[in-house]
Structure 1
Amino acid sequence: MPDTAGRDSANHGDFRLSITQALGDQLADALDDLSPAPLTESNLSELEDRPGVYQLYRNGEFVYVGKADKSLPTRIQKHLRKVSGRQGISLSEMTFTCLYVAEDFSALAPEKLLIKNYKERGEIPWNNNGFGNNDPGKRRDETVVKENHFDALFPIDLGRMIPRIKPGTTTIAKLLAHVSKEAPYTFRYEKKKVGSAYKGTIQVPETDLTVDQLFALIARSLPEEWQIAVLPGRAILYPDNGRTYPSAWRYYRGGQVLDVEPEIGEAGEIPEEPDVVDDAD
Structure 2
Amino acid sequence: MANRWTAEFRLSITRALADQLATTLAPLEAAPLTPEHISTVMPRPGVYVLFLDGERVYVGKAARSLQDRLSQHYQKISGRSGIDLNDVRFVCVYVDEDLDAAAPEKLLIKKYRAHDSIPWNTNGFGNKDPGRNRDTSLVKKVHFDATYPIDLGYRLSLEPGSQPVAAALEVAKRELPYLLRFDNGVAAKKIYRDTTVSIPDEPMVATDLIEHLIRALPHGWQLTALPGYLIMYAEDREYASALAWWKRNSTGVTRTEGPGHFAAGRVEPEDSGSESGEPA
Using the size of structure 2 for normalisation, the TM-score is 0.91
- Structure 1 residues 269, 171: CA separation in 2 closer, same or farther (over 3 Å shift)? closer
Residue number in structure 2 paired with 1:274: 274
The 5 A counterparts of 1:123-272 are: 123-165=117-159, 167-193=160-186, 194=188, 196-198=190-192, 199-240=194-235, 242-254=236-248, 255-271=253-269, 272=272
2:30 counterpart of 1:36: yes
Q: Distance in 2 between matches of 1:183 and 1:9?
A: 66
1:35 CA displacement: 0.6
Q: Distance in 2 between matches of 1:89 and 1:104?
A: 36
The 5 A counterparts of 1:53-132 are: 53-132=47-126
Structure 1: runs of 5 or more not aligned: 1-7
Q: Distance in 1 between matches of 2:237 and 2:117?
A: 39
Residue number in structure 2 paired with 1:4: none
- Structure 1 residues 120, 54: CA separation in 2 closer, same or farther (over 3 Å shift)? same
Contact 1:149 1:270 in 2 (8 A): no
Give 1 or 2 for the bigger CA radius of gyration.
1
Q: What residue identity is the alignment partner of 2:56? A: F
Q: What residue identity is the alignment partner of 1:203? A: S
Q: What residue identity is the alignment partner of 2:240? A: P
- Structure 1 residues 195, 101: CA separation in 2 closer, same or farther (over 3 Å shift)? closer
1:195 CA displacement: 5.5
SS in structure 2 of the partner of residue 143 of structure 1: coil
Q: Distance in 2 between matches of 1:14 and 1:266?
A: 47
SS in structure 1 of the partner of residue 115 of structure 2: coil
Q: CA RMSD in A?
A: 1.8
2:20 counterpart of 1:26: yes
1:104 CA displacement: 1.2
**Percent pairwise identity:** 41
1:138-157 Cα shifts (integer Å, max 9, x gaps): 12112211111100000000
Q: Distance in 2 between matches of 1:15 and 1:56?
A: 36
SS in structure 2 of the partner of residue 77 of structure 1: helix
1:16 CA displacement: 2.5
Q: Distance in 2 between matches of 1:229 and 1:148?
A: 21
1:158 CA displacement: 0.6
Figure out how many residues of one structure are paired with residues of the other and give that number: 271
Contact 2:121 2:276 in 1 (8 A): no
Contact 2:14 2:107 in 1 (8 A): yes
Contact 1:64 1:127 in 2 (8 A): yes
Which is worse superposed, 207-216 or 186-195? Answer: 186-195
1:9 CA displacement: 7.2
Contact 1:164 1:207 in 2 (8 A): no
Contact 1:53 1:110 in 2 (8 A): yes
Q: Distance in 2 between matches of 1:87 and 1:19?
A: 42
Residue number in structure 2 paired with 1:5: none
Contact 2:126 2:278 in 1 (8 A): no
Contact 1:185 1:233 in 2 (8 A): yes
Q: What residue identity is the alignment partner of 1:90? A: D
Structure 2: runs of 5 or more not aligned: none
Q: What residue identity is the alignment partner of 1:204? A: I
Contact 2:240 2:258 in 1 (8 A): no
